[in-house]
C-alpha cells in the first residue's frame, strides 16, 4: 500500500468542499445547484406534466425522464459538441434508475416528471453530483418521495479505499477503481452502482461501507439546502402585479 | 408562469404601461454580471436580467485557417435554449429560435470586427486560434437577445489563452496564460420591441409573445452599428427604425457601463 497521503491532502473519508442551493431556476417546478470541488451540476424539474409523445403515457403510472448534459465548455479539454452522446445517454438512464425507487410513480398516472441536468464545469464525479442535485430539485418541486437519494463516488487508489475521488485520483498511475454510488438515506439501499477499474471483493465491500458515511455528508447538505429554501420562501415578496 | 392574453399587454403598452409596472424603456432589476465561473472554459460569464439567466463560455482551439483568409483566426457563436430553462423548450437539435439568437449575437461581434482576427493567426495558412462561444440558457423569463449579447461580451472579455506546449504545439487546457483575446471593441445588442405602437425594451416572456415587430441593434461604444435584425410580422417605418436605433444605442451604453462596473 503506497497511497497513504491523498493528492489534495484530504482525509480518506473526506469529500471535496460542497455547496448546495435549492430553487435557483424560477421557471422550473423545482431546481437546485450542487457543487462538489470543481464539479458543478444545475438541475431543473418540470412536472408532473403531460407526456409528449403521447404513446409513452401509461394510465396506471407516471414516468420520470432524466436528461444529463455537459455544457460545451465544461470539459477539461477541447470543447464538447452539444447534443446527445453515448455517454450522456447512459448516464441519463442510470440517473433515472437511481432516483425512481424513491418516487411513487402511481401518484401521477399519464404524466411525466422531466429532470434536466446541465453542468457548467466538471472535474470528477459528475453523475453523482447530477443525482444529488436532481434529488434536491425533485423535493423542491414537491414530488412525493419516500426517501432521499444522495450520491458520491468511492473507490480504491493503489490499495487505499477513499471517498469522492478527484480527477487526479481517477487517473492515478496505479491500480484504481472508481465506484459511483447513490444511496437511499433511510434504507441504506444502493440505487446506483457502477465501477471502473480493478478491486478485490473485500475492498469493494469496505468501499460501499465508506459510501454510507460519505453519502450521509451529501444528505446533510441536501436537507440544509431545502430548509434554507423553505425559510426564504416564507419571506419572499412576490413582485407579480396580480398580487399587488 | 402567469397567463396573460396579448390584448391585455397591447392595451397596457398603448397607455405606456407594463405588466410589472416598469416604464417602457427601463430594464428589469437586478442586473448581475459575473465572470470566471467555469474553470474548464477559457472565459465564462453568467448574466441575470430580472429573472432571466444565461451563461456563456468561451473555448479556444488551434485550426487551419480558411483558404480565403489564410492569416486570420475565427469566431463562432452557438446558442442552446435548454429544456432546463423553460417548459417551452425540448431537448434536441437547435430550433429556429436558438439559431436566430446565435446568428444575431455572432454578427454583432463579427461584423463590428470586435476581435482582431489577424492577431489570432499563429502561422499563416497553417495555424490560427479559433474561438467558440456557447450560450446556454438557464432561465428564460424574456429578453434572451440582450442577456446573451451581454454574456458573450463578458465571457470574451474574461477569456485568457491557454498555455501551448512549445515542443508539441498541443494546447494545455488546464493552464491559462494571462493573455486576453484581441478584443478591440465592445459591441452590445439591444432589442427594441413594438407593441401596439409603443416601443419598449427588455421584454418579459409574456411581452415577447405579444409583440408586432422587433429590431435588434448591435452598437459599439461610439454608436457605430454592427448588426441589425428585424423580427415579427409587422413592418416598420423609417421614423420608427430611427427611434428604435436611438433607444438601442442608449441602452447599449447603459449595459456597457453595468458590464464595466461588474468587471472592475
Is the residue at A94 inside a domain? yes
Q: Place A233 in a pLDDT band, splitting at 50, 70 and 90.
A: low
Q: What is the pTM of this model?
A: 0.94
The superfamily in CATH containing domain B6-263 is GHMP Kinase, N-terminal domain (3.30.230.70)
Q: Can you give the pLDDT at residue B45?
A: 98
Is the residue at A191 inside a domain? yes
Q: Place A2 in a pLDDT band, splitting at 50, 70 and 90.
A: confident
pLDDT at A212 over 90: yes
What ipTM, to 2 d.p.?
Answer: 0.94
CATH code for the domain of A30: 3.30.230.70
Q: Please give the average per-residue pLDDT across B142-170, as a whole number.
A: 96
Question: Which tens digit of pLDDT belongs to each residue from B108-124?
Answer: 999 999 999 999 999 99
Question: Which tens digit of pLDDT belongs to each residue from B185-195?
Answer: 999 999 999 99
Q: Is B1 exposed, middle or buried (0-12, 13-18, 19+ CB in 10 A)?
A: exposed
End-to-end Cα separation, chain A, in angstroms:
67
Is the residue at A240 inside a domain? no
Sequence spans of domains, chain B: 6-263
Q: Can you give the pLDDT at residue A240?
A: 41
A74 neighbourhood in chain B, CB within 8 Å? 38, 40-41, 57
Distance CA A21, CA A136 (A): 8
Cβ neighbors of B84 (< 8 A, separation 6 or more) are A25, A28, A42, A43, A44, A116, A117, A118, B137, B138
Q: Please give the average per-residue pLDDT across B158-185, as a whole number.
A: 95
- CA-nearest residue to B140 within chain A is A27
Domain extent at residue A209 = 18-233
Interface touch B20/A72, C-beta < 8 Å: no
Cell, residue B157: 472579455
pLDDT at B203 over 50: yes
B61 neighbourhood in chain A, CB within 8 Å? 78-79
Interface touch B83/A42, C-beta < 8 Å: no
Interface touch A241/B139, C-beta < 8 Å: no
Q: What percent of chain A has pLDDT over 70?
A: 94
B138 closest CB neighbour out of A25, A49, A74: A25
Confirm or reject contact between A73 and chain B (CB < 8 A). yes
- CA-nearest residue to A29 within chain B is B87
Is the residue at A1 inside a domain? no
Domains contained in chain A, number: 1
Q: Are A12 and A160 in contact (CB under 8 A)?
A: yes
Nearest-CA distance from B25 to chain A in Å? Answer: 18
Q: Place A52 in a pLDDT band, splitting at 50, 70 and 90.
A: confident
What are the φ and ψ backbone dihedral angles of A218, each rounded to 5 degrees? Answer: -65, -45
B136 closest CB neighbour out of A28, A71, A77: A71
Amino acid at each position: 500500500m503506497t497511497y497513504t497521503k491523498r493528492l489534495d491532502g484530504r482525509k480518506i473519508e473526506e469529500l471535496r468542499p460542497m455547496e448546495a442551493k435549492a430553487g435557483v431556476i424560477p421557471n422550473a417546478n423545482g431546481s437546485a445547484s450542487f457543487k462538489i470541488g470543481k464539479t458543478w451540476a444545475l438541475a431543473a424539474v418540470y412536472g408532473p406534466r403531460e407526456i409528449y409523445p403521447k404513446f409513452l403515457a401509461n394510465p396506471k403510472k407516471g414516468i420520470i425522464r432524466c436528461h444529463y448534459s455537459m455544457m460545451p465548455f465544461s470539459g477539461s479539454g477541447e470543447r464538447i459538441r452539444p447534443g446527445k452522446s453515448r455517454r450522456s445517454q447512459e448516464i441519463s438512464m442510470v440517473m433515472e434508475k437511481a432516483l425512481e425507487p424513491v418516487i411513487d410513480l402511481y401518484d401521477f398516472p399519464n404524466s411525466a416528471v422531466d429532470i434536466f441536468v446541465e453542468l457548467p464545469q466538471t472535474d470528477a464525479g459528475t453523475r453523482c453530483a447530477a443525482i444529488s442535485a436532481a434529488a434536491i430539485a425533485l423535493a423542491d418541486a414537491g414530488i412525493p418521495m419516500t426517501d432521499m437519494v444522495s450520491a458520491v463516488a468511492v473507490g480504491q487508489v493503489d490499495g487505499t479505499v477513499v471517498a469522492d475521488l478527484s480527477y487526479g485520483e481517477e487517473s492515478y498511475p496505479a491500480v484504481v477503481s472508481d465506484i459511483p454510488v447513490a444511496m437511499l438515506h433511510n434504507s441504506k439501499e444502493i440505487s446506483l452502482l457502477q465501477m471502473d477499474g480493478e478491486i478485490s471483493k473485500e475492498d469493494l465491500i469496505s468501499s460501499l461501507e465508506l459510501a454510507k458515511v460519505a453519502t450521509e455528508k451529501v444528505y446533510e447538505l441536501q436537507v440544509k439546502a431545502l430548509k434554507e429554501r423553505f425559510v426564504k420562501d416564507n419571506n419572499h415578496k412576490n413582485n407579480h402585479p396580480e398580487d399587488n | 408562469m402567469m397567463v396573460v392574453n396579448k390584448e391585455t399587454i397591447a392595451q397596457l403598452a398603448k397607455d405606456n404601461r407594463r405588466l410589472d409596472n416598469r416604464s417602457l424603456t427601463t430594464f428589469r432589476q437586478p442586473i448581475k454580471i459575473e465572470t470566471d465561473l467555469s474553470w474548464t472554459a477559457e472565459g465564462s460569464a453568467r448574466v441575470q436580467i430580472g429573472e432571466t439567466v444565461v451563461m456563456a463560455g468561451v473555448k479556444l482551439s488551434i485550426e487551419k485557417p480558411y483558404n480565403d483568409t489564410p492569416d486570420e483566426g475565427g469566431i463562432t457563436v452557438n446558442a442552446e435554449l435548454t429544456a432546463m430553462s423553460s417548459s417551452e423548450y425540448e431537448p434536441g437539435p437547435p430550433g429556429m429560435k436558438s439559431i436566430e439568437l446565435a446568428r444575431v449575437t455572432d454578427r454583432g461581434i463579427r461584423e463590428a470586427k470586435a476581435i482582431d482576427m489577424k492577431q489570432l493567426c499563429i502561422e499563416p495558412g497553417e495555424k490560427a486560434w479559433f474561438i467558440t462561444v456557447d450560450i446556454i440558457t438557464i432561465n428564460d423569463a424574456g429578453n434572451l437577445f440582450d442577456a446573451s449579447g451581454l454574456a458573450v461580451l463578458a465571457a470574451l472579455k474574461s477569456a485568457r489563452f491557454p498555455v501551448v506546449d512549445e515542443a508539441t504545439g498541443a494546447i494545455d487546457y488546464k493552464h491559462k496564460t494571462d493573455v486576453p483575446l484581441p478584443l478591440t471593441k465592445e459591441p452590445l445588442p439591444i432589442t427594441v420591441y413594438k407593441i401596439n405602437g409603443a416601443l419598449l425594451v427588455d421584454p418579459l416572456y409574456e411581452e415577447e409573445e405579444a409583440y408586432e415587430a422587433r429590431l435588434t441593434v448591435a452598437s459599439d461604444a461610439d454608436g457605430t452599428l454592427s448588426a441589425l435584425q428585424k423580427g415579427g410580422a409587422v413592418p416598420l417605418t423609417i421614423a420608427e427604425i430611427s427611434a428604435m436605433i436611438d433607444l438601442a444605442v442608449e441602452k447599449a451604453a447603459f449595459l456597457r457601463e453595468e458590464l464595466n462596473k461588474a468587471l472592475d
